[in-house]
Amino acid sequence: MKLLFMRLYFILLLLSISLSISFTQTTPEVDSTRTWSPESYFPAEDRLVTTIMQRYHYKKIIIDDSLSVDIYNLYIKSLDNNKMIFLQSDIDEFSKQKYMMDDYIKDGKLETAYEIFNIFYKRLTDRIRYTNKLLEKGFDFKVDEYYSFRKDSVDWAKNTNELNELWRKRVKNDAISLLLTGKKWEDTKKILEKRYNNYQKIFYQFTSEDVFQNFINAFTSSIDPHTDYLSPIASENFNIDMSRSLEGIGARLITEEEYTKIAEIIVGGPAYKSKLLQRNDRIIGVAQGKTGKMVDVVGWRITEVVQLIRGKKGTLVRLQILPASESINVEPKEIELIRDKIQLDDISAKENVLDITNNKLNYKIGVLSIPAFYNDFEAARRGDPNYKSTTRDVKKLLAKLAKEKVDGVIIDLRNNGGGSLQEAISLTGLFIENGPVVQVKNSDGIVDVGQDTDSKIVYSGALAVLINRFSASASEIFAGAIQDYGRGLVIGETTYGKGTVQNMIDLNRLVQNTDTKLGQVKLTISKFYRITGGSTQNLGVTPDIQFPSAFDPKEIGESSEFAALTWDKIQPANFKPFNNLTPYLQKLNNEHLTRITKDFEFQNLIVSINEYKSNVKSTKISLNKSVREKEKKMADEERLKKENERRKISGLKIVKKGEVTKKEDKNIDAELDETAHILADFILMTIG
């Protein structure tokens, strides 16, 4: 995940109380000559943030010319990530300040940051004027030419003519994408005019606080990807995020270029339950109720998109999305979600039993799905004997599975982004006798060991832990401990690699005698280590049996983050392994590889992963409308063919082109099913 424009300000939980969803009041007309300047108190706030970074951050920070270059590059990238706004001459001029950013940060000198933003806004205004001229003139869609997607390695445009050509192809590509959905040219023209004008309005509506936050976050992001400055309004949104107590669809959004993109699906929310939204899906339209008009939101400021999606519990919102897993030519997909409030029960652990046949033997495999590591601390403080926590719930579910006489248990931690550290420790304690679970090292080098002190083992049978790229933090602590003790098999994808701990500092508590409301700083204060001494940071947990992954570590995960803390190692803790599983792993992996070659669903999963990778790597696309139509038709036919192949094998009804498939027809989990077979292989090898 790369540096995104105004990182945490744009990461908002779509949970809210009842809000009026009326956009009858339009935003003010854009003033193309507007400029921004810093508020009088920003220099002092800048110096305060800098002092906090130097004193309290886990990493010993040296603010010098080397860091200055990083601050400069990240600030430019936050404004013009795809090199579609600035000219090379602008960059040449800005570069004269490249080695001064460290001094500006230390001294609270913000004028250069605002000058760069003002030039950015002027250049953006020129771009929007040009797009309006293009749309007025129209395009020749029969020309054989290509639009190349901008990458980090490309150069800045040398002059206005070169930049105009880049934008001509970009706008033409957007026009073809809309025309392929069945829209007429006049409708396409109006949508794109509004879209690009809205893109300009995003920045026109920036406050001086927004510009300040963006520049300060270029500094914090040059130190660590999880360290951020949050303006007062961003702090309020962050608190809404953490409370998870309000109403919405349950998804976090980010802005990437002009698109609103799904950053995370919140466990227990409507989006999570529906399985209709996935990470990296792009939202291009929002409508209210069954019959409300679909509003094109490409180019909108994210706060406005959020406001459209928020609403009363029980009301329906329709979203038009571009699925991340599909090709560029995919037709937008419309989904319906009922807004709701996330309750603790929605994120609670749940159990079920898989009945499988493996090597002609029947097995009952219990599955414990744990979407988060939770603890109702408030209920516990009240003395409620039935308060909920991950460990308490899993303990009850294990007793239930024991009554059903399961042969083995799978702990499903896929997409579990973490939560309570203590719950990760106590949950591990259900499967081991006692001993260390995790080590935590602070900035002073002091190491605390998180121990399981209960010698009782609740479940001692065959165990597997299923993980994926989005298993993070507390999930990695649990999976790593199970692996280090040799207590169970770890299966799936390499995890995210988030092995750091953050703390919030409210700047208002550090400044007295002021009526000015300041923001907050979220900074990294410590680091997790496994009991074997290696950190979970950056590298994550590598499974014993590896499943194919759609995600390149260079693009998704801690290792993709700029300035992510590195992996390192400390002294191992003193612990006694439960078992040594190494002798079984090669044979288990061989059995797995042989089996999946004959498994239609798993092979289908592999094909989907390869298609996703291919789509992500795509660097150019035809701007000939006829060619695009043929490509889209072929993609649609191939998709329908694969769906019907799956349905035929599964004994489901064959569907025709344009026919909507039922939700219950798609609940096939190839990864979970294969994990159950691997565990059955292990049971046969060890128990017989």
What is the rounded CA–CA span in Å between residue 317 and residue 251? Answer: 13
Active-site residue 222, yes or no? no
Q: Among residues 543, 579, 595, which one has the least CA distance to residue 686?
A: 579
When the pLDDT of each residue in the chain is averaged and rounded to a whole number, the result is: 88
Question: Same structural domain for residues 41 and 160?
Answer: yes
CA distances to 122, 206, 329, 679 from 35, in Å? 9, 10, 39, 63
Asked whether residue 592 is domain-assigned, the answer is no
Question: Same structural domain for residues 298 and 366?
Answer: no
264 and 279 Cβ atoms separated by less than 8 Å: yes
Question: Same structural domain for residues 402 and 497?
Answer: yes
Look at residue 644 and give its three-state secondary structure: helix
Question: Same structural domain for residues 349 and 319?
Answer: no
Q: How many domains does the chain have?
A: 4
Look at residue 157 and give its three-state secondary structure: strand
Question: Same structural domain for residues 384 and 328?
Answer: no
Asked whether residue 16 is domain-assigned, the answer is no
Out of 70, 393, 484, 681, which one is annotated catalytic?
A: 484
Looking at residue 491, its pLDDT comes to: 98
CA distances to 429, 487, 498, 566, 571 from 529, in Å? 17, 18, 11, 12, 9
Active-site residue 484, yes or no? yes
Low-confidence residues of the chain, pLDDT below 50? Answer: 1-27, 240-246, 663-665
What is the rounded CA–CA span in Å between residue 450 and residue 530? Answer: 10
Which residues lie closer than 8 Å to 108 by C-beta, 6 or more apart? 42, 43, 44, 46, 47
Domain range for residue 301?
Answer: 235-341
Question: Same structural domain for residues 555 and 613?
Answer: no
Q: Among residues 144, 109, 372, which one has the least CA distance to residue 266?
A: 372
Residues 161-192 have pLDDT tens digits of: 999 999 999 999 999 999 998 899 999 999 99
Asked whether residue 1 is domain-assigned, the answer is no
Q: Which of 528, 551, 580 is the last residue of a domain?
A: 580
Question: Same structural domain for residues 324 and 362?
Answer: no
Asked whether residue 5 is domain-assigned, the answer is no
Strand partners, 620: 148
- The amino acid occupying position 367 is V
> Which pTM value belongs to this model?
0.88
Long-range contacts of 23-29 (CB under 8 A, 24+ apart): 23/295, 23/304, 23/308, 27/201, 27/204, 27/205
Question: Same structural domain for residues 434 and 308?
Answer: no
What is the rounded CA–CA span in Å between residue 163 and residue 151? Answer: 15
Q: Among residues 148, 139, 150, which one has the least CA distance to residue 188?
A: 139
Which 8-state DSSP code applies to residue 149?
P
Compute the Cα dihedral for 264, 267, 271, 274 and give only its sign: positive
Residue 327 sits at φ, ψ, to 5 deg, of -75, 170
- The amino acid occupying position 205 is Q
Q: Which of 293, 311, 341 is the last residue of a domain?
A: 341
Which CATH number covers residue 393? 3.90.226.10
- Paired tokens of 495: 């995890």
Question: Same structural domain for residues 337 and 362?
Answer: no
Asked whether residue 384 is domain-assigned, the answer is yes
Out of 77, 498, 522, 527, which one is annotated catalytic?
A: 498
Looking at residue 242, its pLDDT comes to: 43
Asked whether residue 77 is domain-assigned, the answer is yes
Q: Please state, as a whole number, how many other Cβ atoms lie within 10 Å of the Cβ of residue 580.
A: 8
Question: Same structural domain for residues 395 and 352?
Answer: yes
Strand 361-369 versus strand 408-412 pairing type? parallel
Strand 520-529 versus strand 545-546 pairing type? unpaired
- Give the containing element (helix H, strand E) for 108: none
Looking at residue 310, its pLDDT comes to: 85
- Paired tokens of 667: 């609940």
Strand partners, 52: none
Look at residue 153 and give its three-state secondary structure: coil
Which 8-state DSSP code applies to residue 534?
B
End-to-end Cα separation, the chain, in angstroms: 45
Look at residue 595 and give its three-state secondary structure: helix
Residues 50-93 have pLDDT tens digits of: 999 999 999 999 999 999 999 999 999 999 988 999 999 999 99
Question: Same structural domain for residues 62 and 200?
Answer: yes
Active-site residue 498, yes or no? yes
Q: Which of 284, 312, 341 is the last residue of a domain?
A: 341
Question: Same structural domain for residues 409 and 532?
Answer: yes
Asked whether residue 4 is domain-assigned, the answer is no
Which residues lie closer than 8 Å to 395 by C-beta, 6 or more apart? 430, 458
Out of 348, 471, 473, 526, which one is annotated catalytic?
A: 473
Asked whether residue 144 is domain-assigned, the answer is yes
